[in-house]
Amino acid sequence: MGWSLAVPRLARSQPAVEGNSSDSPTRQKTAGAAACGCLFLRRKADDMPLTPDAGILPSKFNGVYFVMFNGAERVLCLADYAALQDLGARHKMSEDFLEVFRAFRPEIEKRASAKFDAGDRDTNGNVVLIGADLNF
């Protein structure tokens, strides 16, 4: 009898650990770590939740695809072609979108990481940076 009573309690308490869909990913991680008794170390404000990978795939139709990692999870990111051209024009650079991406890659990766941390991903789970995201 005691065993059957414990199972429903665990089942009911689990959603509280996971958090609801309006919680940020950081809050969900914190709640999950606290529930399992794990030590959760906070990141510094300037640390990115995603870590960059060296590879890129330029596409004149779409922009520049690049990969970042959230632990072991690979996250595909896209810096939009038109957004890169606009960024280059604002900084009086050539219209070569790949040159612009390479020049501003660290800042572009920070912005992709911030979008990921905010939960802003497309239906496939990718992070897409458009003009408003690259307005610096």
71 with 94, same domain: the answer is yes
Residue 25 and residue 64 in one domain = no
Residues 121 and 93 in one domain: yes
> How many domains is the chain partitioned into structurally?
2
Give the tens place of pLDDT for each residue, 66-123. Answer: 999 999 999 999 999 999 999 999 999 987 899 999 999 999 999 999 999 999 999 9
CA distance linking residue 2 with residue 45, whole number of Å: 46
Residue 44 located in a structural domain: no
> Using one digit for the tens of pLDDT, what is the confidence trace for 123-135?
999 999 999 999 9
Distance in angstroms (rounded) separating the CA atoms of residues 49 and 78: 17
pTM, to two decimals:
0.62
Quote the domain boundaries for residue 70. 51-134
| Same-domain pairing of 28 and 57 | no
80 and 115 belong to one structural domain: yes
* Residue 59 and residue 21 in one domain: no
β-strand partners of 78: 65, 128
